Chains A and B, each alone.
Chain A
Amino acid sequence: MSKLDFEKPILELEAKIAELRNVGSDSSLNISDEIRRMQAKADRLLQQTYGKLTPVQKVQVARHQDRPHFLDYVRGMIEDFTPLAGDRRFAEDKALLGGLGRFKGRSVVIMGQEKGSDTESRIRHNFGMARPEGYRKAQRLLEMASQYQLPVITLVDTAGAYPGVGAEERGQAEAIAKSIEACLRTKAPILSVVIGEGGSGGAIAIATADRVFMLEHSIYSVISPEGCASILWRSADHADDAATALKLTAEDMLGLKLIDGIIQEPIGGAHRAKEQTIENVAKQLDSSLNSLIPWNDNDLKQSRRDKFLAMGRNL
């Protein structure tokens, strides 16, 4: 299930190497040269494959279940994380988590969608698809950030806002709109990183930020390639074409001047080296935050607005 079809040759090679290592340890045969040779081949294959992923392959990597998720980043780069719960109106939504914590010594508000890491947690977090309560919790946390002048870090990883009857009844559209509005009103720097899937309105709701970064193999799109294909091609089989046409890769997004930068992933993708990925993200966030501190509330708000108003005009 977690296997990517285009990784098959690499995985087979890696399995063989593991087998040989086992043999090597309980026999006197010297096969270390062979192992070294095969390992070099596997590394080369990995580098080649990941050096030229197609858009639809990036979609698969961005959704890979072993990719580091929100809580992995929190564990890896936030000290004293103190989760806060509830929107104070209706419920607590575990699809969008957030709270206070310390990043590189500074107090911050951190939030993001959590997809979960096994069946049980995936269900608990609703696969990272937030309901209105999640976005209202985000608004609450953004207001708190303004009040106490705390920088905000948002980690985006969602297929989109949850499409359900209850979500609609409780105003999913309004919750997202107000969450964007809350971002625009925040009197503290907001830094966003798309760590996996940047799925449409559910993503931009917390990514209307002063700086927006994407991980190398993450995606950011107005609609899922499958959804786009079923509407425009009238068949989900064209997801491949849709992924290409939508220009949803980090490189495309940077080319369209819709994001501020790309954070490199280790060779073979974030799911192969979680810690290194998290470190890369932390490094980028730290240097960006340093460039935004200290800030003037009005200047910050104005330049955030100007940045979004300029989008599309600068093409």
Chain B
Amino acid sequence: MNWLNNFIRPKIRSLVTQQKDVPDNLWQKCATCEGMLFNRDLSENLNVCYHCGHHMKITVDERLRLLFDDAKWDEVRLAKVAQDPLKFKDSKKYADRLKAAQTKSRRDDGIIVAKGTITGIPVVIAAFDFDFMGGSMGAGVGEGVVRAAEEAVKTNSALLAIPASGGARMQEGALSLMQMPRTIIAVEMVKEAGLPYFVLLTDPTTGGVSASFAMVGDIHLAEPGCMIGFAGKRVIQETIREELPPRFQTAEYLVDHGMVDMVVPRKELRATLGRMLGLILRPGFDAHGTGRSNKGGSAPKSPAKGGSDVRTAANAARNIAQLAPKLATVKKKKPANTSTPVRKAAAK
């Protein structure tokens, strides 16, 4: 069966596609409107169909490029986790699948943690790589979310999670299930430090990923048309044996049902994020009359521990905004690809 699917069928398909009257590498067809798309124009348009606005997938690197200021960021190195602790094997060994994905992506697992600025405000992004085993969340990915939260707290940055995942990585059994509480603990750390936590839901966000850190954001944004849900469509259909409603589990559907704040076209993401971060972190007044001493860009107070001191936490968050211009200049002098904190003074 696998041999048939994996070998024979692609072969047949490639024979068929060769008969197309346009070469593959120049044009492609939009899956939604079937309009022809010139590849170069498509990529200039951030992989959004310029006929109908359908958002196609983009790589995680492209994603970071379009979000961070000057398309620049530092990648945070992630700790190694136990590889294949269950010694899982189906038709293929999990260890082999993992190795293949690692070789292909040149990363240890399906998540990138990066830090930079968005409209001058420091932000740590934890972005899923859907190409890495369907963005599934095992111990490595969960560790990435935890690390991203720690980095955000350490550097007084906002945290932006960008899931793109089919759910838990079942080859890691219940260990992958435990990433649900683990990633929520990560979010709790960020919230207690008074730092903003946003989620940008992308296609798809389902299963154990949607039912953990992805649904506890201060603000939930989603890309147009992306699929968001807990249970898979097929499972639901098998359970209820009825037709599913139109647009079921799309971003727009979730907005209608109160689970997502807004659907934002890819082009507007950076500006929208920047505006919201600014609204939260640069309120234009000093609520407690204590933040002025930090105006010159002095080191911020360390964030509140245990979440009880809301005042300190809020001030810590505001300090981000005040530090932002300075941070941007510091960053430019630094060479890329370092994982040292952008601003050492902010480190605990």
Point out residues on A near B: beta carbons under 8 Å.
Answer: 161-165, 167-174, 176-178, 180-181, 183-185, 198, 200-201, 203-205, 208, 220-223, 227-228, 231-234, 238, 241-242, 245-248, 252-253, 256, 258, 298, 305, 308-309, 311-313, 315
Residue contact A233 to B90, C-beta cutoff 8 Å: yes
Residue of A nearest to B186 (CB): A309
Query: When chains A and B are docked, how far (Å) is the Cα of A160 from the Cα of B142?
Result: 21
Tell me which of B82, B91, B211, B232 has the highest count of chain A C-beta atoms within 10 A of its own C-beta. B211
Contacts of A183 in B (CB 8 A): 181
Residue contact B239 to A168, C-beta cutoff 8 Å: no
Residue of B nearest to A209 (CB): B181
| Shortest beta-carbon distance from A47 to chain B in Å | 28
Residue of A nearest to B231 (CB): A163
Residue contact A180 to B170, C-beta cutoff 8 Å: no
Select B176's contact among A203, A222, A313, beta carbons within 8 Å: A222
Query: When chains A and B are docked, how far (Å) is the Cα of A305 from the Cα of B146?
Result: 12
Contacts of B242 in A (CB 8 A): 165
Tell me which of B81, B177, B213, B259 has the highest count of chain A C-beta atoms within 10 A of its own C-beta. B177
Query: When chains A and B are docked, how far (Å) is the Cα of A298 from the Cα of B188?
Result: 14
Q: Knowing A164-B236, A165-B245, A181-B184 are in contact, say whether A248-B174 is a contact too (CB < 8 A).
A: yes
Contacts of B210 in A (CB 8 A): 173, 177
Contacts of A184 in B (CB 8 A): 181, 184-185, 188
19 A-B contacts, Cβ less than 8 Å apart? Answer: A161-B211, A161-B231, A163-B239, A165-B248, A171-B259, A172-B211, A173-B215, A173-B229, A177-B215, A177-B216, A181-B184, A223-B170, A232-B90, A234-B1, A246-B170, A311-B182, A312-B142, A312-B175, A313-B143
Residue contact A312 to B139, C-beta cutoff 8 Å: yes
Residue contact A311 to B173, C-beta cutoff 8 Å: no
Tell me which of A183, A223, A312, A313 has the highest count of chain B C-beta atoms within 10 A of its own C-beta. A312
Query: When chains A and B are docked, how far (Å) is the Cα of A168 from the Cα of B233?
Result: 10
Contacts of B181 in A (CB 8 A): 180, 183-184, 204, 208, 308
**A-contact bits for B221-248, CB 8 A (1 contact / 0 none):** 0000000111110011001101011001
Contacts of A241 in B (CB 8 A): 90
Query: When chains A and B are docked, how far (Å) is the Cα of A184 from the Cα of B192?
Result: 13
| Shortest beta-carbon distance from B93 to chain A in Å | 11
Q: Is B212 on the interface with A (CB-CB < 8 A)?
A: yes
Q: Is B104 on the interface with A (CB-CB < 8 A)?
A: no
Given contacts A177-B213, A256-B175, 19 further A-B contacts (CB under 8 A): A163-B230, A163-B231, A163-B235, A165-B240, A171-B258, A174-B259, A177-B184, A177-B211, A200-B168, A200-B177, A204-B177, A204-B181, A232-B91, A242-B90, A246-B173, A256-B86, A308-B185, A311-B178, A312-B143
Residue of A nearest to B229 (CB): A168
Contacts of B171 in A (CB 8 A): 232
Within 152-173 of B, Cβ neighbours of A (below 8 Å) are at 168, 170-173
Select A312's contact among B178, B212, B232, B239, beta carbons within 8 Å: B178
Query: When chains A and B are docked, how far (Å) is the Cα of A203 from the Cα of B213?
Result: 17
Q: Is B208 on the interface with A (CB-CB < 8 A)?
A: yes
Residue of A nearest to B139 (CB): A312
Contacts of A169 in B (CB 8 A): 257
Residue contact B230 to A173, C-beta cutoff 8 Å: yes
Within 69-92 of B, Cβ neighbours of A (below 8 Å) are at 81-82, 85-86, 88-91
Residue contact B257 to A171, C-beta cutoff 8 Å: yes
